[in-house]
Structure formats: C-alpha cells, structure tokens
A and B are shown apart, each in its own frame.
Chain A
C-alpha cells in the first residue's frame, strides 16, 4: 500500500477520486444549478420582452410591401445600373407582376406604399393594372410606356429600385425630418412637415431642466435627512417615500386640481388680490404644467440616491475643515460637495432617463407646448397608424436611453440600484 504523495494531484477524496477533479466536478454542478435557476426567467424575458423589442427594431427597417407585391420586378431591377431606363426584361417582369397582383388584388397595398414616396404612383399602378388587357404583346417596354407615360420616368424607376429592397431607411429619415428626393438624394422635408427634430430637442432640454430642478430641490432635503438623528430622519423620510409610492395618475391629477384656471392656486392668488379674477394664470396644459408635475413626480428618484451617498460621509470631515480655518462656504465647496458628486451623477442620470421616456404626464398636462417625443410615438401608433415611423422614433429614443444606462452602469453599477 502506498501513501498518497503530498502534491495536489496526488490527493484523493474518500472514494478515491483525485481531489482536483472532484472539486471541479462540484463547482461545475453548482454552476449548472445556478444557471438552471436563472434560465426560466431569462427564457421568459426573451419571449415576452427581448423578442418584442427586437421585432420592433426590425419593423423600423422592414420593407416587405414592394418586394412581395412586385416580386419579379424587384428581382429584375436589383442590378440595374441607374443610367438609362431599365431594359425589356424589367418591363416584362412588371407586366407579369401587375397581372398577378391585379388578379389576387394585392396590388393595392404596393400602390399605397409607393404612393408615400412618389405621389401619383397609386393611380399609375392601379390604372396600368386595370388596362393591361388592352396590350397586345411584347415588346413590353414600349407597351407599358404607352399605357402610362410615368413608366418612362427615370426617377420613378430609381424609386422602385430603392423600395424593392426588403429593408429601408425611409422611416428613420422621416423620424429626423428628412426624406428621399425623387432622384434618390436625401433632403430635408419642407418646413411645415418638420416636427420630429423639434420634439426630440424639446424633450432633451426639458428633461435637462427637470433634472436640474430636481437636483436643486433634492440636495438640501437629502442633506437634511442625512444629517438629522435617525429617529427624526426616518420620520421625514416618510414624506419623501409617500409621494414615491403614490400612484402616478393621482399625482398628476392633484396638479391638475391645483394648477388649473379654476384651481386651488389661482383661487388663492385671486383671493389675495395678487391677480384679478379675469386674469387667472394658465399654468397647466402647457410647458409649465409638464415641468412642475414631472419635477414633483421625479424628485424622490433624485433624493434617494443623494441621501444614500450623503449618509456615508462622516460628519467629522466638515468639522475638521472648519476647525482648520475654512469658512462655511469653502468647507462645503472643497470638502463636502466633492464627496457627493457620485450621488449627483447617479440621481441625475436616473431622473434624466426616466424623464425622456415619460409619456403619461406630458400627455395629460402638457397641452400642445409641453408634448414630448413619446407622445408622438403614441400618435403614430394610435392615430396616424404609421407603425414603421413609430418604431423608428422609439428605436432612436431607446438608443439614447441605452447610452445613458451604460454611463450609469459604468458610474454606479446596476446591482447597486436601491429601492425605497
């Protein structure tokens, strides 16, 4: 009988297996167990959340109408060089496509899709499809042009070639107020149709303003909460947590009750004779309403991270600074403030992310001038039914949010997110 040698490879467990292998086996089992616990939820989220988001992103570039509605033409035009009018095979394909499309009535969808890009296209397509029977035979090129002179237009074929691809950038162009010119160049939309960029910019700057307001209001409160003795601090904390836990709609409703023209604040101002009864202020259904209500709603999200950072700053630091001769302002600026920067960053990014994606409050109290880009997404989904455009705007917004989130993650880390 030989004793096991004292090198790690030589050690064995009670049942004679090498220790190292046994340990690896155990670790692998643990890892597998941990994975098995997480997998159901990940699978669930992939099906119910990640896939929908992915299909939305896909929808923002998806362009199936033309390539499905005019399949032969789409294939024939793909390698056209764009110099002269397309050749006979393309026109022959068009003839076939129109014939089938007219028979199974699928031509209408293509017609309205192309009409977005090239006005008059609807009647060109529908008219030609209807009159196909009058044609006697090849060559189709001359025959089609004789049906409708538009088939001899160079720009029209450029447009068809562009739209025949199964994906398109036109929704994104539309989301930033651009469009394809007839010759295929990317140009700005006419001024009266420019709306999206203005709303994007407004959303961004109003969110920054709301973030700044939240910061200004949250900083003193967080400081007070962090420096009070625990009992009193917890009591005041309830005043922060109560609005945090109260329904969003309730908080929006209260601001309507307070700020509207026949509301509480105007009544107070009138009864104090600050303003006359006929000059009641318009404080809601505009920018002011949105800013006030959203600052109120998002304020706890700024106070809580600031508080948790300030709680960790020892009181002694400020006293030390003062005893070393710094005035109150200098001590605050050079000693206290720099230690709270992490909290300011966390709170600001959080409030900013929440703010640019907010829909309910701007929709209820924003009126015309307080609308956000989110309201436009809802508009395109529910009213104009331009889902591709809604998806494109949502994707751009998602991109902005993800950038902010990555910065947040870099600064604080997701797993440090605290609730309440």
Chain B
C-alpha cells in the first residue's frame, strides 16, 4: 500500500486516513491483551490501574498474584490435569488423524468428500451441542467424570485440526519418492518412517499443536462431562470469573498469552522450514 508519487492531495489524505483506521483496528485486536499484562502486576486486589501504577511507583507493582498462582493447590492441580488431558488427547488425535490424512490423500480413496465431511464435523458442530451429546452418552457409558471421558472428548475435538493440516501438507507430497524408496529396497514401513514421515512432519507437528491448544483452551465440554477430579486451567478460570474475580486470573491470563506467543513462534518456524523443504522437492 505504498502511496504513489503521482497521488493527488485528496488521495494522500485518504491513504493516511486509511492507515489510521487500520491502526485503530489493530489496537482493538491487540490492545486488550496488552492491557492485562501490567494489570496482573497490580499490588492491590483491583482489576484496574491504581494511581500508584500510573505514576510508576515501584511499590504499586508486585508479583503477589503470580505467587498466589504458583502456591495455590487448586491451580497447580489444574495445570497438572490440563497437561495430562492435553497430552493424551493430542497423541491420540495426532496418530489417528495422520493415518487418516494419509489415506484421504491417496488418489484411490473412494468417497473422499463424505469422509472428509465426517472427519471435519466436530469442528463445525457448536461446542455446546457436542458437549450436550457427549454428556448424555458418556453418562450412560459410565465415562462422565473420568479422565478417559474428557480425553476421548478432546481427541474428537482435536482430530479435524490434525486432518486438515496433514492433508494440506500431503497435497504437495510427491508420491514418486515412496516408490523410489521401495524400488531401492526399503520395506513399506521403513519407507514410511525414513521418507514420508520426515516430509510431512511439519504438518503433523502443527496439527498436534492445534489439537493441544484446542484441548488446553477448551471449557464447554469439560464443564459438562468432567468432575471435580478433572478441573482444568480453563475451568478454574471460568469459576474464578464467575465467583470471586481476583487478579490471580489476570496473572494466569498473562502466562497464557506468553504460551500462545511461544506456540505462534513455533508454528512460524515450522512453516518456514516447510517452505524450505517444499522448495527442494521437485515440482509436479
């Protein structure tokens, strides 16, 4: 959007106005996330800036809420539960989803559209409906209020992300590479691990990251099918927001923003590596 040198004054004015509008929209997008970071260092139990904070007095800031977070039994067990559920469901979703994506990307796959629609459906159906359905069904199967139930539910929710990202990576995959490996004497298993997997790994990893963050951030399903034993970080936040709103939540929020920055950076690195690898494979 560079302004051409021949632009009239009116056009120049408009171009600057346009940039101003865009800046405001970006502020709307990111501003709220930036506001909570200083607020989480508040020394007082308020959700807003104290006069001391505005005057940058050092004693108006403290790590009090972080301390509270890391010493609280409830929050620590929530972290543990979130990690257990997140890791287990991510592994399940990634393994099942990767194999399915390999099948779906085959030229010979029959009814591709139908299968794809079924595999994507957990992403389309509103969470509250999935939660209601699983709540009814899992309580019949004695699965509600168990870790197994929550992990199964989160696996379901993570699967579409794995399928989509891995299929996208495979769409540029050159099948002659497998054939070459086979003709050079590699067994199908060996060819898969030595040739296919390294090439689709970026897709698999970003799919897994998506699945993990989905589980890590999921409230609705856990709210319905988990018991007190399976309280996760989002549930802890949810009840914190509803019951006693304390700046500990802002501290958690700030930490979670840091987690998402890390995830974003990882994904970006994977994307770059993927593009570099793509450049090396022969064009079709």
Interface string of A400-420 (1 = CB under 8 A from B): 011001000100001101111
Known: A40-B100, A246-B257, A394-B129. A52 touches B48 (CB 8 A): no
A336 to B259, CA, bound (A): 39
Known: A59-B136, A220-B21, A221-B22. A53 touches B102 (CB 8 A): no
Q: Is the CB of A401 within 8 A of B124?
A: yes
Q: Is the CB of B136 within 8 A of A38?
A: no
Stretch in A4-12, A102-110, A186-194, A255-263 with 4+ CB within 8 Å of B:
A255-263
A180 to B95, CA, bound (A): 51
Chain B positions within 8 Å of A53 at CB level: 125, 129-130, 133
Is B121 part of the contact surface with A, judged by Cβ < 8 Å? yes
> Which residues of chain A from 231 to 255 have any CB-CB distance to chain B below 8 Å in the complex?
236, 238-243, 245-255
Is A30 part of the contact surface with B, judged by Cβ < 8 Å? yes
Report the tally of A-B residue pairs with Cβ distances under 8 A.
264
> Which residues of chain B from 209 to 237 have any CB-CB distance to chain A below 8 Å in the complex?
210, 213, 216-217, 219-220, 224, 234, 237
Is B29 part of the contact surface with A, judged by Cβ < 8 Å? yes
Chain B positions within 8 Å of A418 at CB level: 164, 168
Q: Is the CB of B124 within 8 A of A405?
A: yes
Chain A positions within 8 Å of B153 at CB level: 48
Nearest neighbor of A47 in chain B, beta-carbon distance: B152
Q: Is the CB of B28 within 8 A of A217?
A: yes
What distance in Å separates the Cβ of A238 from its nearest Cβ neighbour in chain B?
Answer: 7
Interface string of A96-126 (1 = CB under 8 A from B): 0000000000000000000000000000000
Q: Is the CB of B25 within 8 A of A220?
A: yes
Known: A256-B241, A257-B48. A52 touches B133 (CB 8 A): yes
Nearest neighbor of B167 in chain A, beta-carbon distance: A415
Is A198 part of the contact surface with B, judged by Cβ < 8 Å? no
Is A33 part of the contact surface with B, judged by Cβ < 8 Å? yes
Is B135 part of the contact surface with A, judged by Cβ < 8 Å? yes
What distance in Å separates the Cβ of A302 from its nearest Cβ neighbour in chain B?
Answer: 11
Q: Is the CB of A56 within 8 A of B242?
A: no
Known: A34-B103, A48-B155, A417-B164. A253 touches B132 (CB 8 A): no
What distance in Å separates the Cβ of B126 from its nearest Cβ neighbour in chain A?
Answer: 2
Q: Is the CB of B136 within 8 A of A419?
A: no
Nearest neighbor of A32 in chain B, beta-carbon distance: B108
A418 to B102, CA, bound (A): 18
Stretch in A80-88, A163-171, A353-361 with 4+ CB within 8 Å of B:
A353-361
> Which residues of chain B from 226 to 267 have any CB-CB distance to chain A below 8 Å in the complex?
234, 237-238, 241-242, 245, 249-250, 252-253, 256-257, 260-261, 263-264, 267
Nearest neighbor of B32 in chain A, beta-carbon distance: A254
Q: Is the CB of B132 within 8 A of A239?
A: no
Chain B positions within 8 Å of A55 at CB level: 133, 136-137, 140
Q: Is the CB of B25 within 8 A of A267?
A: no
Q: Which of A37, A42, A246, A415 contacts B118 (CB 8 A)?
A: A42
Nearest neighbor of B2 in chain A, beta-carbon distance: A229
What distance in Å separates the Cβ of A391 from its nearest Cβ neighbour in chain B?
Answer: 7
What distance in Å separates the Cβ of B268 from its nearest Cβ neighbour in chain A?
Answer: 8
Q: Is the CB of B49 within 8 A of A250?
A: no
Q: Is the CB of B116 within 8 A of A359?
A: no
Stretch in B33-41, B60-68, B276-284 with 4+ CB within 8 Å of A:
B33-41
Interface string of A280-313 (1 = CB under 8 A from B): 0000000000000000100110000000000000
Known: A250-B256, A257-B36, A257-B39. A414 touches B245 (CB 8 A): no
Q: Is the CB of A242 within 8 A of B115?
A: no
Q: Is the CB of B109 within 8 A of A31?
A: yes
Known: A44-B96, A245-B213, A409-B117. A49 touches B130 (CB 8 A): yes
Chain B positions within 8 Å of A212 at CB level: none
A-B contact list, 29 entries, CB within 8 Å? A31-B106, A34-B109, A34-B110, A37-B99, A38-B100, A41-B99, A42-B100, A44-B96, A48-B152, A48-B153, A52-B134, A55-B133, A56-B133, A59-B136, A224-B22, A242-B29, A250-B256, A252-B241, A253-B253, A254-B33, A257-B39, A264-B49, A364-B241, A364-B242, A378-B128, A390-B132, A397-B129, A415-B167, A417-B164
Q: A35-B109, A38-B103, A264-B48 are in contact. List 4 more A-B contacts (CB 8 A).
A: A37-B100, A37-B103, A239-B29, A250-B253
* Complex A-B, nearest 7 residue pairs according to Cβ-Cβ distance, in ascending order: A357-B126, A37-B103, A52-B137, A34-B106, A38-B103, A52-B133, A254-B32
